[in-house]
A and B are shown apart, each in its own frame.
Chain A
Amino acid sequence: MSRSAKKGPFVDEKLFKRVAQLNERRAKSPLKTWARACTITPEFVGHTFEVHNGNKFIKVYVVEDMVGHKLGEFAPTRTFRGHTAKAKTA
């Protein structure tokens, strides 16, 4: 079920402020954040975020196509190294 249109997209206010500040100063520095649920707005384009995946921060460089997705979609939380290779039979 998608979110009610009445509320608009969920954007983490603190993070949004930090981005706005960077845009004002025309600066670009990676922003560390835990706000995985935050929707990417057009203002975020061109910035780099370090999105927490529960273990460490994953660098996410935001491009235009990512607008409307959530930050967490780009920082995978699971590791899957594949199944063990079958032991060779002699």
Chain B
Amino acid sequence: MPRIAGIDIPDNKKVKISLRYLYGVGPTNALAILREAGIDPEKRAKQLTEDEVAAIVAIIDRDILVEGALRRKIQQDVARLRDISSYRGMRHRRSLPVRGQRTQSNARTRKGPRKTVAGKKGVKELGK
């Protein structure tokens, strides 16, 4: 079981798939890494030699932010928007959609579970 970038241990899948188990590595990055390391993307992860694993680790360390470092960067970027009290920062503070989506309906990912308001149009009398 190869071990890449700290904690993550992908396995029985093709390398191009198992690399995506790292936070911050998607389809594009996975293929780019393998192209640079000169490894066949269709190969299974368990068939990697130690040299190949080392090559992958080296490329990731050098080029891409993954896992904790990436999470930290995202946190900082959001904190920056909040601190300068930009419109986007305000939307983050209120946990509403940031990129101009509608909020009269939908936007449930940001707003969380529905909070039903009695007496509002469209709401049938609930209970008593």
Contact = CB atoms under 8 A, between A and B. Distances in A.
Contacts of A28: none
A74 B83 contact: no
Which size class do B's interface residues fall under? 10 to 19
Interface residues of A, number: 10
Interface string A53-82: 000000000010110010011101000000
Contacts of B80: 65
Interface string B61-83: 00000000000000000001001
B87 A73 contact: yes
B123 interface: no
A72 B87 CA distance: 8
Across chains A and B, which 3 residue pairs bring their CB atoms closest together, nearest first? A73-B86, A73-B87, A65-B84
Interface of A: 63, 65-66, 69, 72-74, 76, 83, 86
